[in-house]
Structure 1
Amino acid sequence: MNRASSTAPTAPGRDEMRDERGVVAGVCWLIGWVTAIIAVVVTSASAASAIKLAGVPDPGWITTYGLPVVTGVGQLSAAVALGTAVFAAFFVPAQADGIFDIGGYRAMRISAVASLIWGVCGLLGVPLAISDVSGESFAEAITPANLTNAYGQVAGAQTWLWTAIFALLAAVLARVVWRWGWSIGVIVLVTLSLMPSALAGHSSSGGDHDLATNSLILHIVGAAVWMGGLFAVVAYALAHGRWRVLAVRRFSRVAFWCILVVGASGVINALTRAPIGDLLDTTYGRLILWKVAAFLVLGGLGAWHRRRTIAALEATADDAADPAGTGRSWRTSLFVRFGIVELIVFAATFGLAAGLSRTPPPPVDTASISPVELKIGYLITEPPTFARIMFDWRFDLIFGTLAIVLAVVYLRGVVRLRRRGDQWPIGRTVAWILGCALLLFATSSGLGRYSPAMFSIHMISHMMMSMMVPVLLVLGGPVTLALRALAPAGKGNPAGPREWILAGIHSPWGRIVTHPGVAAVIFVGSFYVLYLGGLFETVIDYHAAHLAMNLHFLVSGYVFYWLTIGIDPAPRQVSPVAKLGIVWGSLPFHAFFGVALMMTGSVIAEQYYRSLMLPWRYDLFDDQRIGGGIAWAAGEIPLVVIMLALLVQWQRSDERAARRYDRQADRDHDADLEGYNEMLKSLNDGPR
């Protein structure tokens, strides 16, 4: 990577760097205290009523106010950890050898410290949660005997421990990594550390908890990337980082989408927990209105930031008439000052959210909620029919949104190619759009609605997600489209999306997951582990398990068919004959799984399905046998598609080989044919 730049600022000296680190540390302390103070103030407004509703003795002020402080400061730290890891991965370029430059290295060190703080907060949350539920003081709850006895009975303690585990793993990885690719692992671990809190709390219980939980996942992750990314960019600008203009431009694009995600998911989550009529009449509703106000302030600051301070900072990229750097320093300081103001508002918002999590929502008449609604989040009053499967929709905020986003992004790539005058096969576009439509149908139609309630419907959805949707998506050739539609960064320029895709394809991890044995074992073997190994009945009660299963079906199927159909560039090149062998070798195991499922002598997850108490009668064992038959027959459909795709590839491969031979013959005037004829002539003229 070319390190020379006429507009790059002079590297700061040691004293200046020490001052910058002091300012960053001071900002961290400031926003941490703001979060803690707001969390305490908000909690004090509803602490008495929360204790009364819980029906337990007062656990003392340490627990009452310590839990929201730990929640607020911890989630603020998680946002910083996630934002700085994203910054190191995508906002500033690494060096040519893949090692972080100074900006990325410092960001990862900040991510390590923030993850460590998040992990410590998670560990503190375990005894605090036990104290809160039991009514014991914090000093009693933290004793080893109480921790051991109560941990398995308090869901909040388990939530905090899983949070701590993921956060501490992220801290260790962020501290030891030096290369760009490993920053993706830190991003994944920090994101996973946010999931336990997103899947617990007010949103995980009562009616519509599927919508509430999914919206909270989007809300928390979007807010963390938004706030953490801003912190990382401000810290980088404060250090006069070389690529600060590029970093700000990239963050600005990401922040725009984060605002949309946070706003939409926040509205959905609020409406599922508090009806509009309760927003003014309850403490919970009024806190929601305060959060809305904070969001509007942040959105306004972001818009103003984008128009004024970011525009001024971007002007430094073309400011060649200021050799002393006075204008650049003023514009950078303006961006930093207003960035710090925005971070303070963010900190207050995180404190408000922490206090809101400790505030009882409006009371719900639980007697009117049916068992099936308590389990899956919504009512099912009638058995499935073709009409209900087709038209009784309930939008899945995670996978339904994913299907729409994938379709829109793909079509944008096609439009970009056509505007440039390039062609793109219409068949690939049709395949991709059909795959997205099928993903939307499998998760958001009546099929997705009945899937958690009946095993046979679940199996239809499973087969679509693992067999049919991935085949269509792979046939769409999204990687090839992206590599053609995205402009290369150019020699000496910072890497962009196109280079990130190529780096992922050629990474060691890409070669591992696309190894034929690994891909086939994960794809087929997971059926046996999930359904015949007892895992399904262990995890089916949890909403997180449904999300994880859908994600696993989709990703494992995509990787398998990416390898066996192979339209896109892949880490491994496999011949059509080998692809056919992989498919035929996997089929018997898939077919045997369906047969084994039909022949199982007991009902899988029987206790869960009976607890739903559906208002119509059906035989669970017969329903399971139908599910096994669906699994057995479902493998035939993608097999036909794969066979056709491989035949087409084989034909095109022969045609390419024939064209190469013809071009070679034109260049050497059929030298190979002439040589062959001479050989035959010599054999004919030889001694008899």
Structure 2
Amino acid sequence: MQHLRVSVGHTPTIRISGIAVPAAASTAAAVAVAAGALTAESTTAAIRAVDAVSIVAGSLGVGVAVLIPWLTDDDRMRAWRSAAVWSALWVSAALVGFVADAADLMGVSPTRVSTADLGALLHGTSLGQWGMVGLVCPIVLCVVTVDSARGGGGWHPSIVGSIAAFGLVSGPVTGHLSLTGTGAWVTSLHVIAAAMWLGPLLAAAVVLRDSGAWSRILPRYSRWALWCVVAVGMSGVGATAIRWITSDASGSYYALIVVKVVLLAALILGGRRLRRVWVGRDCVAAVSTRRAVVETVGMSVAVGVAAALAVTP
């Protein structure tokens, strides 16, 4: 198999799948985010597609944190290396998103945003302050995962997962539902539950190399995913109800809600089928990886639609 070499100190090579699998998920999410932003007639619809990188990278960070206790030593190192690469990409995406927020606020093109505009966004709005949180978290995550990939053993997975989760919620908590304290909490729960559903399977597709590892991980993930789906569904219903009660929403918003519900139903039905034919069955690693990629791409489209709701009036 070909290898893509990424120099991180004396860290071993990173396999192509460590880039390709999350990249496929990011592409799927980007299409959904951009389509939703265009529906909302956002002036930065195209550039908002980079939010997909933040979604996937943050979810991968959460997934690695969940998966680490279940992995062998070799698999752990691959997991840390992949998280390090994608957290670095997350930093770039968060910076672009911060500039896009300033452009939306000032009503100018992202290429015309000045330092003064960024300062006004940071000092004068909660959007800018949470945007800075969304930039700092992936920087910290990058430092932690690079240290872990180089052999640092002192970072507890719960700390890593918390950093990634905090970075993920920094964007949604400034959306329409932030007008109420309850709305912000429900949105945060929704985002974290979605990341905990997507992230571990995405990390497994990147990390696992043999059928024995898949056979060991899948039953655990299957039980984990069930509770994540319940949390995603309940928090999604709660968020929609709060939005309907507290503010007027456009037809585009409710259209995206319908799309999201259809996607969630399809993912649940698909997951149920895979549980019967995949979990607890002997299956070669390549087939397991392919199934995980298909499932995570579908999940990424759903979370991309969810992200688009944040910019939909």
Please state which band the TM-score falls in when normalised by the shorter chain.
Answer: 0.7 to 0.9
- Is 1:358 the equivalent of 2:307? no
Paired position in structure 1 for 2:156: 182
Q: 1:24 Cα shift?
A: 4.1
Paired position in structure 1 for 2:185: 214
Residue identity opposite 1:305 in structure 2: L
Instruction: Write the deviation string for residues 459-484 of structure 1: whole angstroms up to 9, x where unpaired.
Output: xxxxxxxxxxxxxxxxxxxxxxxxxx
Paired position in structure 2 for 1:116: 88
Separation of aligned partners in 2, 1:210 and 1:217: 11
- Is 1:225 the equivalent of 2:204? no
Q: 1:114 to 1:16 in 2, by over 3 A?
A: closer
| Equivalent of 2:22 in 28, 36, 49 | 28
Paired position in structure 2 for 1:138: 110
| Equivalent of 1:82 in 46, 62, 65 | 62
Q: 1:22 to 1:293 in 2, by over 3 A?
A: same
Q: 1:20 Cα shift?
A: 9.2
Whether the aligned pair in 2 keeps the contact of 1:227 and 1:343 (CA below 8 Å) is yes
Paired position in structure 2 for 1:306: 275
1:212-291 matches, within 5 Å, as 212-237=183-208, 239-240=209-210, 243-274=213-244, 282-291=251-260
Q: 1:234 Cα shift?
A: 2.1
Separation of aligned partners in 1, 2:269 and 2:38: 29
Structure 1 gap ranges (5+): 1-14, 51-59, 94-100, 316-327, 361-688
TM-score for both structures, normalised by structure 1: 0.41
Paired position in structure 2 for 1:579: none
Instruction: Write the deviation string for residues 574-593 of structure 1: whole angstroms up to 9, x where unpaired.
Output: xxxxxxxxxxxxxxxxxxxx
1:316-395 matches, within 5 Å, as 328-329=283-284, 332-360=285-313
Instruction: Write the deviation string for residues 106-134 of structure 1: whole angstroms up to 9, x where unpaired.
Output: 11111122222222222222221111011
What secondary structure does 2:16 align onto? helix
Structure 2 gap ranges (5+): 5-12
Instruction: Write the deviation string for residues 210-240 of structure 1: whole angstroms up to 9, x where unpaired.
Output: 3322221111111101101111122233x22
Separation of aligned partners in 2, 1:266 and 1:149: 33
What's the % identity of the aligned pairs? 23
Separation of aligned partners in 2, 1:148 and 1:357: 23
Q: 1:204 Cα shift?
A: 0.7
Q: 1:195 Cα shift?
A: 3.2
Whether the aligned pair in 2 keeps the contact of 1:92 and 1:246 (CA below 8 Å) is no
| Equivalent of 1:171 in 137, 142, 165 | 142
Q: 1:17 to 1:149 in 2, by over 3 A?
A: closer
Q: 1:359 to 1:245 in 2, by over 3 A?
A: same
Residue identity opposite 2:85 in structure 1: V
Whether the aligned pair in 1 keeps the contact of 2:177 and 2:187 (CA below 8 Å) is yes
Separation of aligned partners in 1, 2:17 and 2:45: 32
Paired position in structure 2 for 1:65: 46
Whether the aligned pair in 1 keeps the contact of 2:59 and 2:196 (CA below 8 Å) is yes
Residue identity opposite 1:234 in structure 2: A
- Is 1:92 the equivalent of 2:71? yes
Residue identity opposite 1:259 in structure 2: V
Whether the aligned pair in 2 keeps the contact of 1:127 and 1:147 (CA below 8 Å) is yes
Q: 1:151 to 1:103 in 2, by over 3 A?
A: same
Residue identity opposite 1:22 in structure 2: I
What secondary structure does 1:358 align onto? coil
Paired position in structure 1 for 2:10: none
Residue identity opposite 1:31 in structure 2: A
Q: 1:256 Cα shift?
A: 1.1
Separation of aligned partners in 2, 1:171 and 1:250: 27
What secondary structure does 2:230 align onto? helix
What secondary structure does 1:199 align onto? helix
Whether the aligned pair in 1 keeps the contact of 2:144 and 2:155 (CA below 8 Å) is no
Paired position in structure 2 for 1:192: 166
- Count of paired positions: 300
Q: 1:249 to 1:16 in 2, by over 3 A?
A: farther
Whether the aligned pair in 1 keeps the contact of 2:19 and 2:82 (CA below 8 Å) is no
Separation of aligned partners in 2, 1:247 and 1:169: 28
Instruction: Write the deviation string for residues 611-658 of structure 1: whole angstroms up to 9, x where unpaired.
Output: xxxxxxxxxxxxxxxxxxxxxxxxxxxxxxxxxxxxxxxxxxxxxxxx
Separation of aligned partners in 2, 1:17 and 1:304: 33
Separation of aligned partners in 2, 1:236 and 1:246: 13
Q: 1:181 Cα shift?
A: 4.8
TM-score for both structures, normalised by structure 2: 0.87
1:638-657 matches, within 5 Å, as none
Instruction: Write the deviation string for residues 241-270 of structure 1: whole angstroms up to 9, x where unpaired.
Output: 753322222211211110111111111111
Separation of aligned partners in 2, 1:273 and 1:102: 46
Q: 1:20 to 1:304 in 2, by over 3 A?
A: farther
Separation of aligned partners in 2, 1:269 and 1:26: 33
Residue identity opposite 2:270 in structure 1: L
Larger radius of gyration: 1
Whether the aligned pair in 2 keeps the contact of 1:127 and 1:157 (CA below 8 Å) is no
Whether the aligned pair in 1 keeps the contact of 2:60 and 2:199 (CA below 8 Å) is yes
Separation of aligned partners in 2, 1:241 and 1:183: 24
Q: 1:292 to 1:92 in 2, by over 3 A?
A: same
Separation of aligned partners in 2, 1:355 and 1:199: 13
Separation of aligned partners in 1, 2:200 and 2:185: 22
- Is 1:202 the equivalent of 2:171? no
Q: 1:36 Cα shift?
A: 1.4
Separation of aligned partners in 1, 2:238 and 2:272: 23
Separation of aligned partners in 2, 1:224 and 1:358: 19
Whether the aligned pair in 1 keeps the contact of 2:256 and 2:309 (CA below 8 Å) is yes
